[in-house]
Amino acid sequence: METTRLSSKGQIILPKSVRDAYHWMPGTEFEVEQRPEGVLLRPKKRFATTHIGDVVGCTGYRGPAQLLEEMEAAIAQGVSERHARGRY
């Protein structure tokens, strides 16, 4: 087991082997939880947990399901129209 020391500023340096094992880079934020046996450091999640129902409706399309070929044709038409107007 490796050891570390608390600095006069209240900072603790995690051993390099631990940082490397968890791929923790400088700037990684941690949640600090007090436990009866000590303190638990847990890296904060970068993004909030989402559920499929939270993001499925984000496209705004309310019509019937489209075939891939229909979607590709619509995209090609939109690109052609935009190109014809001189807007790339």
What residue segments make up the domains of the chain, in order of their start?
52-84
Produce one character per residue of 11-38: b if its CB has 16 or more CB atoms within 10 Å, e if not: eeeeeeeeeeeeeeeeeeeeeeeeeeee
At residue 55, the pLDDT reads 73
Q: What is the pLDDT of residues 40-70, one digit of tens each?
A: 999 998 777 787 777 776 566 777 888 999 9
* pLDDT score of 18 more than 80: yes
State the DSSP code for 3. Answer: -
67-78: average pLDDT: 92
At residue 57, the pLDDT reads 65
6-29: average pLDDT: 94
Q: Hunting for tokens 């051993």 — which residue is that?
A: 15
At residue 23, the pLDDT reads 93
